[in-house]
Structure 1
């Protein structure tokens, strides 16, 4: 069964590192990346990733706006907000907009990878069911 991830971050270093780490996870069959919201929108129009890892600040629009678009489109994908702006107001806005998890990029990069690992190789449940239980644990 295919399991795909989309990484959206304006830092080429972060995108490259995450793409490499996520590609090594058993069960992850495809990882796309985009440097900004416009490129992410193009990928989202043609793919339906199981997980989207989003930064907040990026060219072409904010990650928060992109999160809202993803959720309003009816996507069942799990969204991880991974940002260098782990401030309470951002966290609150992102979680209300539908983010499943909100993480600090500078200290929780490995946590994001671990969440994807658990989603990709979890025991036979649909992604959304596993995602809901993970979101509760990560909060």
Structure 2
């Protein structure tokens, strides 16, 4: 009998307007040990509903979305009592965008074209920290 606790995966919700990009992100991020892609959306309303319904731990979002602005979504997520880790992963990587997203509540900001591997490493670290924290909590 295995008495070690089963660790829950880091639940990641993807918000990206491009279906092929979203599928690639889901495949790459979902392959990270300890990560589960629990939902996807291409517009802010569906994203908010999906994030609420799934209890996501992390939201990976683009700045360009269908039917609304991602800044409104970002601000809505940042104001919530039940906080999620917000990672902006976008092609709009200028200094102004980076500063605006961090000021609005994003914890991380990455350029899709040059920092995708760094984003993956960050999600891996977050999943690992969650696992270690869970193990520490279960031994108390």
Task: With the length of structure 1 as denominator, give the TM-score of the two structures.
Answer: 0.83
Name structure 2 gaps, 5 residues minimum.
1-6, 135-140
CA separation in 1, counterparts of 2:117 and 2:56? 20
- Give 1:9-24 correspondences, 5 Å limit: 9-24=16-31
Provide the aligned length of Structure 1 versus Structure 2: 126
Give TM-score, length-normalised by structure 2.
Answer: 0.82
Q: Which residue, 76, 85, 104 being the options, matches 1:78?
A: 85
Deviating beyond 3 angstroms after TM superposition, the runs of 4 or more aligned structure 1 residues are: none
Q: Check if 1:125 corresponds to 2:133.
A: yes
**Structure 1 gap ranges (5+):** 127-139
Query: Which is higher, the Rg of structure 1 or of structure 2?
Result: 2
* Residue of 106, 112, 120 corresponding to 2:119: 112
Superposed CA offset, 1:65-112 (max 9, x none): 111101111232111111111111111111011111111111111221
1:94 is matched with 101
